[in-house]
Amino acid sequence: MNPSRLDEAVAIAPPPAPVRKPGRRVTVSAVGGPSPEFPPALSEDCGRLAEVMAAHWEREIAGVLPDRPDLIVLPEMCDRFAHTPPALLEKIRPVMLTHMTRLLSRLARENRCYIVHATAAPVPASGTYPGTDDVWQNVAILIGRDGREVARYAKNWLVVTETGRGLVPGAGACVAECDFGRVGFAICFDLNFPELLESYRRLRPDLIVFPSHYHGGFLQPVWAYETRAHFLGCMGMAGINSELWSPLGMRLAASTHYCPQLTATLNPDCVVAHLDFNQEKLRALKARYGRDVTITDPGQLGSVLITSNSETLGAADMAREFRIELLDDYLARSRRVNHNARKI
């Protein structure tokens, strides 16, 4: 399957439910922070510029490798120098993409991890665009543990100034199947558009990664809650923290202004349930499975996160065993009841 069209393939045939393997733990790293300043002395040497950039990110990534992450995310347009003269952008892009792809593919292969390379790339041939080296997109490329490209998401909603830099928007969400779960993508300005959010609500990823220069404030936890997914933001601006959010919109980890790197371990084997009609069932669930289940209540929300710590039984199976109505099912039932009541 052409990775550039993965968004359409997934959107046409969404799965009935996420495939969840019990006992999964996923270590994720956001390697944030700004790219280096453009070095004017190298303005005529694209190869040397690419080497400088690749060396920078290899040093930054080295800081998270001792934790053996399953997934490493880099910030939006990570390989564009700060304050690059606009006239040089088109000249530098192809050389930079080649060098960075070679580096990140090697690091993914050597460390047996996935890497999200957020960069500019030419538009592949598709039903939307003819495919040409003259037309580029703002993309997140997922590199697999074997160093090969797994999926590519193109930013759907460009800032208006980006369209004047030779970039064209993508069309549609993208969910990639990884060995630890399903990963979705959004980039920067995308966070403002409910159309994309609604797509991910239907596609049900386990994790959404968000390479960006823009933080988005409360929109990050809103996206996590609305998609029932973990959400990992990786920020490319100095002083703006990268953060990991739970499906309840709770912040699980964050980088700091001292250290732009974030590494945390999450458990994607989880489901969200409302407390209505479920409290006795939740107590019975905990009584039966003890440490094999964690029930997280953030307070005020009325919903809880059921997480399976079992090696043999998933969170969805636990909920079914005790007939715990999940949040989305409860909201759907509430809509039906209210809709019918309006007919009276």
Position 124 scores a pLDDT of 77
pLDDT class for 343, splitting at 50, 70, 90? Answer: confident
User: Assign residue 33 a region: left if phi > 0, alpha if psi is -120 to 50, beta otherwise?
Assistant: left
Give residues with Cβ within 8 angstroms of 223, minimum separation 6: 186, 191, 197, 200, 208, 210, 231
SS3 of 138, please? strand
pLDDT class for 202, splitting at 50, 70, 90? Answer: very high
Q: Does residue 18 contact residue 203 with C-beta atoms inside 8 Å?
A: no
Cross-strand bridge partners of residue 181: 178
Residue type, 42: L
With a pLDDT cut of 90, the percent of the chain lying above it is 85
Give residues with Cβ within 8 angstroms of 99, minimum separation 6: 47, 50, 51, 53, 54
Mean pLDDT calculated for residue range 124-147: 80
Cβ atoms < 10 Å from Cβ of 171? 14
Could you tell me where the beta strands, DSSP code E, fall in 144-205? 149-154, 175-178, 181-185
Q: What is the distance, to the nearest Å, from the Cα of residue 281 to the centroid of all Cα atoms in its chain?
A: 33
Burial class of residue 203 (count of CB atoms within 10 Å of its CB; 0-12, 13-18, 19+): buried
Asked if the model's pLDDT at residue 139 lies above 50, the reply is: yes
